[in-house]
């Protein structure tokens, strides 16, 4: 590598644009060596000195304050720092209680430092009569201040540190700890790296961008993220580094999108023909909502643009996405293309099939169904009809991907409730044709805008933000288990009025025996409280045979069954307008988004509907917050934002997370929405002027984007 030029031309390097010192192998850093370097690589992905400087503290402690011993009276402080002289040592106890005690004093009093482990190591390092700065959690024992396993540093070596105030704490792993790379050792290494690199750090963001967004320079940011002088400098450092990270992600996403749009031509749907028009004029049972119209217009625009549509349609449960899907598919058919609608479960696929057939009755559109239970004989015939183009619309589950179904002329793929489909499954769909079909992904999981922008930055987003008219808002109530009888009374009343009821049990994993036991016990309890033949109760869950599930669903849909006991398989898409009560058992075990999805199963007709959240009598603070939020609002987006705040994006339903094909080192999607918005806007502005970042003045940004492209590679393999 060419040291003179700083070797910045290579955009594949991990930390472009920094002088070679930062690209030095970490093993050459003083205090590291081969063995520790291997550990750092493996455990933290730290290969170079620069990587280490991008390994940020996960929290900070205030080291500016020195307490006097007398001042510490109780255990209310998490950490204290004292400056005291060692006046004596003592070995005490035996066996597991064996400990080493150093007695210290300052001008105001005495304290004990206690070690249970690593005694011989610490003993060698402490010197009687010397003054140390001691840092640890205060506990009291027999009225005496004790610090167990404190950090101890001689006041002499303390002066060499670049920090005076807030000190970073670095997260470590068991392996690192065993290799003597604990928090403190990492801190020391960072100090070493810093003194080595300080003079060589070059900016990664253009001057103008820094100015416009009131950001500090990289050098200052790196110094302050590791060795902040105060809260304010830490805040500035964080802002700057988060912005850089989010800008890198956005640029890489948007560049990739640009490449995709250029690469793939799109099928053209210019004609609004007989099928669309006749459906609209003769069949549409109600006027479209404004939001539905808008989204259909957006899809129209995409499908005449000459580029492949890649659109995410978000709409709260019950907002009428199915109709948008249907009308888009008719558009495809009118232009001589086939369309395909994929649902995450067989139940839902069947339901879509029934709904579409009903709505399209008498129109020249051939709709067929392909699921895991489609018989072999039918498959053979159906395959032929797809290849000949006789079938216009295919509805199915992911079985149709697994079975490698072939079309004659597939122009549009709609994926319902996308969070159930992994990225990989989407990939297989895409690769089906030479020219990829337009893709519409529909989801009722209200993905907060910030998250959608990052997860689906390569998709355009449409939102149905309006429910069909005449819906009464669902009333949500929270009851503790001890009030179950009251709830049963209420249910009886509704059933007497002719309504139907869902009772849902949490099912965290399809395989969890415990959950099924809950459900079975629950079912037994329900049939006791609601005995047949007066009441008919059906059960539907994931472990049942498809045919049994189907039968249960049918009884409920036709109104024969009053109560449906189910696991969260019914979470997605079931439509029974006469069902007005949704009882969610152990509601504290569900996430907010999931609760909201379940609630959306009721409130679909003209009657007042209710959602009853049952919970244990004891609740954690988070659970209480979640349930209270459900009672308070019906707004899915607000709940999703809150969910993101409470749980962080990592916990938003597992598959959402898997869309995030890179880790963020410092930004937090739950909290940094504003910075993300700024970064997104900046990225859009920059690319509007220079779509491929080819201009010289954008070289830094091109390198920044490349750094994140590597991390996102997995996410894109699917659309190339």
Q: How far is the CB of 369 from Mg ion (least distance, A)?
A: 16
Cβ proximity to Mg ion: between 395 and 679 the closer is 395
CB of 575 to ligand ADP, least distance (A): 5
Per residue, the 3-state secondary structure of 247-263, as one string, reads HHHHHHHHHHHHHHHHH
In the list ligand ADP, Mg ion, none, the entry touching 198 (Cβ below 5 to 8 angstroms by class) is none
Contact between 289 and ligand ADP (CB under 6 A)? yes
Residue 683: closest CA among 167, 39, 244: 244
Q: Residue 715: how many CB atoms within 10 A of its CB? A: 22
Please tell me whether residue 321 binds ligand ADP under the rule CB under 6 A. Answer: yes
Using the minimum distance from each CB to Mg ion, give the nearer residue, 58 or 286. 286
Say whether residue 573 binds Mg ion (CB under 5 A): yes
Judged by DSSP in three states, 649 sits in: helix
Q: Which is nearer to ligand ADP, 146 or 634 (CB)?
A: 634
Kindly tell me which residue out of 575, 607, 635, 651 binds ligand ADP, with binding defined by CB under 6 A.
Answer: 575
Residue 575 interacting partner from Mg ion, ligand ADP, none (CB closer than 5 to 8 Å by kind): ligand ADP
Give me the least distance between CB of 569 and Mg ion, in Å please.
15
Measured distance CA(424)–CA(422) in Å, rounded: 5
**Could you give the C-alpha distances from 450 to 648, 649, 669, in angstroms and in order?**
12, 10, 7
Q: Roughly what angle, to the nearest 10 degrees, separates helices 699-716 and 231-263? A: 70
Listing DSSP states for 380-431 in one string gives HHHHHHHHHT---EEEE-THHHHTT---SSEEEEEEESGGGS-HHHHHHHHT
Positions 454 through 483 that interact with ligand ADP (CB under 6 A): 468
CB nearer ligand ADP, residue 356 or residue 705 = 356
Examine residue 323 and tell whether it contacts ligand ADP (CB under 6 A).
yes
Q: Which residue is at the shortest CB distance from ligand ADP?
A: 320
317 binds ligand ADP (CB under 6 A): yes
Residues 588-647 that bind ligand ADP (CB under 6 A): 604
DSSP 8-state symbol, 694: -
- Give 720's contacts (C-beta < 8 A, 6+ positions apart): 260, 263
Is residue 363 helix, strand or coil? Answer: coil
Helix (H, G, I), strand (E, B) or coil at 126: coil
Cα–Cα distance measured from residue 33 to residue 559, given in angstroms and rounded to the nearest whole number: 73
Residues 429-458 that bind ligand ADP (CB under 6 A): 444
Q: 319 or 371, CB closer to ligand ADP?
A: 319
| One of 123, 286, 384, 713 touching ligand ADP (CB under 6 A) | 286
Asked if 320 touches Mg ion (CB under 5 A), the answer is no
444 versus 678: smaller Cβ distance to ligand ADP = 444
Distances (CA, A) of 567 to 68, 117, 517, 549, 592: 59, 49, 11, 12, 16
Name which of 321 and 712 has its Cβ closer to ligand ADP: 321
Asked whether the CA dihedral 20, 22, 26, 27 is positive or negative, the reply is positive
Are the beta carbons of 413 and 340 closer than 8 angstroms? Answer: yes
Q: Which is nearer to Mg ion, 136 or 573 (CB)?
A: 573
The binder of ligand ADP chosen from 7, 15, 272, 288 (CB under 6 A): 288
Among 50, 136, 266, 320, binds ligand ADP (CB under 6 A): 320
Q: How far is the CB of 471 from Mg ion (least distance, A)?
A: 15
**Helix axes 546-557 and 346-359, enclosed angle (nearest 10):** 50
CB of 266 or CB of 573, closer to Mg ion = 573
Q: How far is the CB of 454 from ligand ADP (least distance, A)?
A: 24
The piece of 445-453, 470-478, 554-562, 567-575 that touches Mg ion (CB under 5 A) is: 567-575
Q: Which does 601 bind (CB under 5 to 8 A by kind): ligand ADP, Mg ion, none?
A: none
Residue 50 contact partner, candidates Mg ion, ligand ADP, none, CB within 5 to 8 A by sort of partner: none
16 or 600, CB closer to ligand ADP?
A: 600
37 is an interface residue for ligand ADP by CB under 6 A: no
Span interacting with Mg ion, options 99-107, 526-534, 572-580, 643-651, rule CB under 5 A = 572-580
Q: Which stretch binds ligand ADP (CB under 6 A): 181-189, 317-325, 519-527, 629-637?
A: 317-325
93 in Cβ contact with 101 (< 8 Å): no
Task: Using the rule CB under 6 A, give the single segment among 77-85, 284-292, 302-310, 640-648 that binds ligand ADP.
Answer: 284-292
Quick check: 250 and 707 in contact, CB under 8 A? no
Distance CA 592, CA 54 (A): 34
Q: Which stretch binds ligand ADP (CB under 6 A): 282-290, 453-461, 506-514, 627-635?
A: 282-290
User: Do the Cβ atoms of 644 and 616 come closer than 8 Å?
Assistant: no
Given ligand ADP, Mg ion, none, residue 323, with its beta carbon under 5 to 8 Å by kind, binds ligand ADP
Strands 99-105 and 110-115: antiparallel
Question: Hey, which bits of 255-409 come out as E strands?
Answer: 310-315, 338-342, 367-370, 393-396
- Which residues have CB under 8 Å from 138's CB, separation 6+? 72, 74, 75, 77, 79, 80, 145, 146, 147
Q: Give the strands of the sheet with 144-148, arranged side by side.
A: 138-141, 144-148, 110-115, 99-105, 80-92, 131-136, 151-154
Report the partner that residue 319 touches, choosing among Mg ion, ligand ADP, none (CB closer than 5 to 8 A by kind). Answer: ligand ADP
* Position among 322, 350, 374, 698 found at the interface with ligand ADP (CB under 6 A): 322
Distances (CA, A) of 494 to 169, 439, 470, 613: 57, 42, 20, 17
Residue 104: DSSP 8-state = E
Q: Do 631 and 478 touch, CB atoms closer than 8 A?
A: yes
- Centre a 10 Å sphere on the Cβ of residue 186 and count the other Cβ atoms it contains: 22
Q: How far is the CB of 355 from ligand ADP (least distance, A)?
A: 8
Q: What is the number of alpha carbons within 13 Å of residue 255 lying toward its C-beta?
A: 24
Nearer to ligand ADP by Cβ, of 323 and 584: the residue is: 323
Q: Residue 318 interacts with ligand ADP (CB under 6 A)?
A: yes
Give the nearest distance from C-beta 292 to Mg ion in angstroms: 13
Binding segment for ligand ADP (CB under 6 A), chosen from 268-276, 311-319, 526-534, 560-568, is 311-319
What does the binding site for Mg ion look like in residue numbers (CB under 5 A)?
573
What does the binding site for ligand ADP look like in residue numbers (CB under 6 A)?
286, 288-289, 292, 315, 317-323, 444, 468, 573, 575, 604
């Amino acid at each position: 590598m060419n040291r003179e030029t700083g070797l910045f031309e290579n955009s594949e390097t991990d930390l472009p644009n920094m002088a070679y010192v930062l690209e030095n192998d970490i093993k050459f850093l003083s205090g590291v060596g081969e063995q520790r370097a291997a550990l750092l690589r493996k455990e933290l992905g730290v290969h170079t000195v620069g990587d280490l400087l991008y390994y940020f503290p996960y929290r900070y402690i205030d080291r500016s304050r020195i307490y006097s011993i007398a001042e510490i009276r109780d255990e209310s402080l998490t950490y204290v720092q004292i400056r005291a002289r060692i006046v004596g040592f003592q070995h005490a106890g035996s066996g597991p209680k064996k400990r080493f005690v150093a007695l210290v004093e300052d001008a105001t009093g005495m304290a004990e430092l206690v070690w249970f482990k690593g005694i011989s190591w610490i003993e060698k390092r402490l010197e009687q009569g010397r003054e140390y700065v001691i840092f640890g959690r205060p506990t009291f024992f027999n009225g005496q201040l004790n610090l167990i396993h404190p950090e101890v540093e001689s006041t002499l070596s303390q002066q060499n540190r670049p920090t005076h105030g807030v000190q970073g704490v670095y997260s470590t792993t068991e392996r690192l700890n065993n290799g003597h790379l604990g928090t403190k050792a990492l801190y020391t290494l960072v100090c070493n790296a810093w003194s080595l690199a300080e003079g060589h750090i070059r900016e990664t963001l253009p001057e103008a961008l820094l100015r416009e967004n009131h950001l500090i320079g990289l050098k200052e940011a790196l110094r302050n993220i590791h060795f902040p002088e105060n809260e304010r400098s830490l805040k500035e450092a964080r802002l700057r580094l988060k912005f850089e990270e989010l800008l890198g992600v956005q640029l890489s996403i948007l560049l990739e999108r640009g490449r995709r749009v250029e690469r793939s031509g799109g099928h053209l749907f210019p004609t609004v023909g007989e099928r669309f028009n006749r459906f609209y004029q003769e069949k549409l049972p109600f006027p479209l909502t404004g939001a539905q119209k808008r989204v259909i217009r957006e899809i129209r625009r995409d499908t005449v643009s000459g580029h492949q549509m890649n659109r995410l349609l978000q709409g709260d449960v019950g907002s009428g996405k199915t109709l948008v899907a249907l009308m888009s598919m008719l558009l495809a058919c009118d232009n001589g293309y086939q369309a395909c609608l994929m649902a995450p479960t067989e139940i839902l696929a069947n339901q879509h099939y029934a709904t579409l057939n009903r709505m399209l009755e008498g129109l020249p559109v051939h709709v067929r169904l392909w699921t895991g239970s489609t018989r072999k004989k039918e498959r053979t015939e159906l395959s032929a009809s797809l290849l000949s183009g006789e079938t216009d619309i295919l509805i199915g589950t992911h079985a149709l991907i697994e079975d490698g179904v072939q079309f004659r002329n597939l122009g549009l793929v709609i994926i319902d409730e996308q969070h159930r489909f992994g990225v990989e499954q989407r990939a297989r769909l895409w690769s089906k044709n030479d020219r990829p079909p337009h893709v519409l992904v529909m989801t009722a999981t209200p993905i907060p805008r910030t998250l959608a922008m990052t997860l689906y930055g390569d998709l355009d987003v449409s939102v149905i933000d309006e429910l069909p008219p005449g819906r009464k808002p669902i009333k949500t109530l929270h009851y503790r288990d001890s009030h179950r009888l009251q709830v049963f009374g209420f249910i009886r009343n509704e059933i007497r009025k002719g309504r139907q009821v869902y009772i849902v049990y949490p099912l965290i994993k399809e395989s969890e025996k415990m959950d099924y036991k809950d459900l079975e016990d629950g079912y037994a309890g329900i049939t006791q409280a609601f005995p047949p033949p007066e009441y008919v109760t059906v059960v539907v869950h994931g472990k049942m045979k498809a045919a049994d599930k189907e039968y249960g669903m049918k009884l409920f849909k036709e109104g024969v069954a009053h109560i449906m006991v189910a696991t969260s398989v019914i979470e997605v898409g079931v439509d029974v307008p006469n069902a007005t009560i949704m009882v969610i058992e152990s509601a504290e075990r569900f996430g907010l988004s999931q609760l909201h999805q379940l609630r959306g199963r009721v409130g679909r007709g003209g009657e007042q509907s209710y959602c009853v959240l049952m919970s244990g009598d004891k609740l954690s603070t988070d659970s209480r917050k979640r349930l209270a939020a459900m009672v308070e609002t019906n707004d899915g987006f607000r709940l999703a934002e809150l969910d993101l705040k409470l749980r962080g994006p990592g916990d938003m339903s597992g598959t959402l997370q898997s869309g995030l094909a890179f880790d963020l080192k410092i930004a937090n999607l739950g909290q940094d929405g504003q910075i993300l918005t700024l970064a997104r806007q900046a990225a859009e502005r920059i690319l509007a002027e220079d779509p491929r970042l080819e201009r010289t003045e954008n070289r830094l940004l091109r390198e920044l984007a490349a750094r994140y492209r590597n991390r996102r590679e997995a996410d894109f393999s699917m659309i190339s």
